[in-house]
Amino acid sequence: MAADENIRQVLGKGIWQATTLVIIGIIFGLAVNALRLDGLPLFTRAGSSQTGIKPIEKISLPDVFQLYTRKKVVFVDTRDPYDFAQGHIPRALNIQPGTTGAMIDALRSSQGKPIITYCSGPDCPLAEKLAQELKTLGISDVKVMTEGWYAWQNSGYPVEGNP
């Protein structure tokens, strides 16, 4: 009987410790996700029908290049400043999600030109995240070039920067 009691105490203590570790892990994971620019959304995405904001329109690389050649577009590169300095679409602005405050007036006065956000490539969520942010701030003509910077560069289109 004493052995059974010892086993119950050890198991109870082990379950308590495991539960505590799981809770600490969840809290740590949520904190890291909240601090990342490309963190995963925990709830309904801002572009869903439940929020009243229309989903962000995607635009293909050839369509973007047509707008570029007619100079009828404002490009916003969402990559970090170092990558931006290494190369970007000519005349692009460098704005990361969460930092639009200083540039919002310039973007609002883009004289009817669509704003095209882009990131490194299709796996980078920053372009869509910034586009959603701009929509929330009242800028309606925002599109995302999902192929991103690498596709632009690999297509031989004009680039600016210090590669």
CATH code of the domain made up of 57-154? 3.40.250.10
CB 137 within 8 Å of CB 106: no
Residue position matching structure tokens 């590169």: 77
The answer to pTM > 0.75 is: no
Domain regions of the chain by residue span? 1-35, 57-154
For residues 12 and 93, what is the distance between their CA atoms, to the nearest angstrom? Answer: 58
Residue 8, exposed/middle/buried by CB under 10 A (0-12, 13-18, 19+)? exposed
Strand, helix or coil at 58? strand
Instruction: Give 10-residue mean pLDDT values along the chain (163 residues).
Output: 71 80 89 73 54 76 92 91 94 85 72 88 92 86 93 94 73
What's the chain's length in residues?
163
- Asked whether 117 and 142 are in contact (CB, 8 A), the reply is yes
72-109 pLDDT tens trace = 899 999 999 999 999 999 999 998 887 777 677 777 77
Largest Cα separation within the chain, whole Å, is 86
